[in-house]
């Protein structure tokens, strides 16, 4: 099982089932499709919270290019460029309000060593969305 830790802001959308993907740098081993994941916020801190253990659906190479200001220059998933509307949907699926929110986050967390363009290459990991707690409560009451 592979564990992924998230910033606190991403906990609610993961729990709501609206965030079911993460973008990560290369590492020794990422999750594989069909494998169970462990999702946390604040891992390795006293504020650690387990969010769930969904199943990995897919892993894709991803490349993100953000200009310091303005709209992203390019997103690629599986080496194929995606258009502006797909970039907006991609940002929202990753837990951001819009592309500008995503750009600000990436610039704050991963600023380039020099220049006014941030280029990130890594992996997009998608999982089976978690079922919102409200849906479980409604189903239990209906039974």
Q: CB within 8 A of 20, min separation 6: which ones?
A: 14, 54, 93, 126, 127, 128, 129, 130
Helix (H, G, I), strand (E, B) or coil at 45: coil
pLDDT of residue 114: 85
pLDDT tens for 92-137 read: 999 999 999 999 999 999 988 888 889 999 999 999 999 765 555 5
| Inter-residue contact 122 to 25 (CB < 8 Å) | yes
In this structure, are residues 115 and 66 in contact, taking their beta carbons and an 8 Å threshold? no
The model's pLDDT over 12-66, given as tens digits with 9 standing for 90+, comes to 999 999 999 999 999 889 999 999 999 999 888 888 999 999 999 999 999 999 9
Strand order in the sheet with 117-127: 21-24, 117-127, 56-67, 74-77, 80-81
Q: Note the Cα 72 to chain centre separation in Å.
A: 17
Protein fold of 2-130: 2.30.130
């Amino acid at each position: 099982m592979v564990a992924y830790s998230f910033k606190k802001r991403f906990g609610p959308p993961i729990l709501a089932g609206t965030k079911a993907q993460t973008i990560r740098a290369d590492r020794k081993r990422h999750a594989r499709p069909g494998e169970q994941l462990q999702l946390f916020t604040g891992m390795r801190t006293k504020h650690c919270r387990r969010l769930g253990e969904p199943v990995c659906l897919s892993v894709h190479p991803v490349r993100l290019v953000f200009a310091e200001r303005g709209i992203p220059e390019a997103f690629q998933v599986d080496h194929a460029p995606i258009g502006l509307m797909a970039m907006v949907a991609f940002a929202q699926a990753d837990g951001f309000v819009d592309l500008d929110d995503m750009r600000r986050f990436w610039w704050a967390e991963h600023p380039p060593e020099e220049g006014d363009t941030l280029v990130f290459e890594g992996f997009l990991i998608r999982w089976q969305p978690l079922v919102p707690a409200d849906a479980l409560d409604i189903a239990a009451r209906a039974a």
